[in-house]
Structure 1
Amino acid sequence: MSRFLFVLGSSRRDGNTEQLARHAARALPADVERQWLWLGDHPLPTFADTRHDNPLPPPTGNEKLLLDATLAATDIVIASPLYWYTVSNSTKAYLDYWSNWLRVREADFKARMAPKTLWGVTALAEDTSQAEALEGMLRRSAEYLRMRWAGVLLGNGSKPGDIRNDTEALTRAETFFLPARV
């Protein structure tokens, strides 16, 4: 059974990126589980690179919730608006924690991530070529963990609700997740 985790990294709820991701998710078959986590509800402490320190303590609180949700998913959708040519701060923090989770022995993070698929959804205010760094970061993260990289769904939206005017992105959204069933 497929289980999609939607990691929502916008600074506002129901922003253009989230609306685009939800529009795309409507096309998923009914038997596909969906979990939506807005990172604003689950803030992570500032990331500290402790790989050369003592062994890491087991994750707790929001970190444990996000780790467990990540490991339980078959598909992870990073839904972050484009901020300064890459993902939002909260999304970057979540991805930074992947570095720590690689060293949590009982998580077996790298091996458990390998069979998963990574997707991206983003809304941006400029032409889509501005998302190259965001796409590259996500694609390379998937490659490093030997995950399947499924690409990024891009839409245009700056002011709240603008995404509803991007009919091309909404049309692409309707089939974006269909390769998940192949």
Structure 2
Amino acid sequence: MTRRFLFVLGSARLNGNTERLARRAAEQLPAEVEQQWVSLTEHPLPDFVDLRHDKDHTRPTEGNTALLLDATLAATDIVIASPLYWYSLSSHTKRYLDHWSAWLRTPGVDFKATMAGRTLWGVTALGDDEPAVADPLIGTLYNSAAYLKMHFGGVLLGNGSAPGDVLKDTEALTRAKTFFAQDTPLARFPTP
């Protein structure tokens, strides 16, 4: 399968620090690698309704939910580009991941089997000098990858609060040059 990257932009700010860092990393991808960029601000998902125990799951056929489901299924690599908001993912991004729960039960999708073996990546900008504050965000992405038996490419961290600040983070910009070229291990839950 030809590599196809889906960049899911979860910021409430267009062209914010997280998106800028993700675009810098994406510039390094070979020209033949397809890229699709979807802003959750421009394509908002409806509130997630937990219907796990209902029998009436149907595949969305129109609107932003269908767009994101189809884009997710078509991607070999999913990049969650979410700024660090209150030590975790943005609400837009969390809502997107919550919809994965519905897609797990959507007839004809076989979401878990389809996602197995693909790669989940993260890009985030944070306004703190201590990278450990991003651990909850990283854990959410890692555990999501582990549950779906996906590879995990890690999270590219950049520092920036005001618009454009991340472009001053020379260490993050250097890491961005090779971020998508690294080996991605299969994510696994720790064994007791």
In the superposition, the TM-score normalised over structure 1's length comes to 0.97
Name the residue aligned to 1:165: 168
CA drift of 1:77 comes to 0.2
Name the residue aligned to 2:50: 49
Name the residue aligned to 1:27: 28
Q: Give ranges in structure 2 of 5+ residues lacking alignment.
A: 185-192
Measured against aligned partners, the alpha-carbon deviations of 1:65-124 in whole angstroms (never above 9, x if no partner) come to 000000000000000000011000000000000000000021110000002100000000
| Distance (Å, rounded) in 1 between the aligned partners of 2:183 and 2:42 | 27
Name the residue aligned to 1:84: 86
Q: Give ranges in structure 1 of 5+ residues lacking alignment.
A: none
Instruction: Say which is worse superposed, 72-81 or 60-69, in terms of deviation.
Output: 60-69
| Distance (Å, rounded) in 2 between the aligned partners of 1:147 and 1:86 | 20
| Distance (Å, rounded) in 2 between the aligned partners of 1:48 and 1:69 | 21
CA drift of 1:45 comes to 1.0
CA drift of 1:179 comes to 2.4
Identity of aligned residues (%): 64
Q: How does 1:143-182 map to 2 (within 5 A)?
A: 143-179=146-182
Instruction: Considering fraction of residues, name the structure with more helix.
Output: 1
Given that 2:29 and 2:180 are in contact with CA atoms closer than 8 Å, whether structure 1 keeps it comes out as: yes
| Distance (Å, rounded) in 2 between the aligned partners of 1:54 and 1:140 | 27
CA drift of 1:58 comes to 2.0
CA drift of 1:180 comes to 6.3
Q: Which runs of 4+ in 1 moved over 6 A?
A: none
Aligned length: 182
Distance 1:125 1:83, change over 3 A: same
Q: CA RMSD in A?
A: 1.3
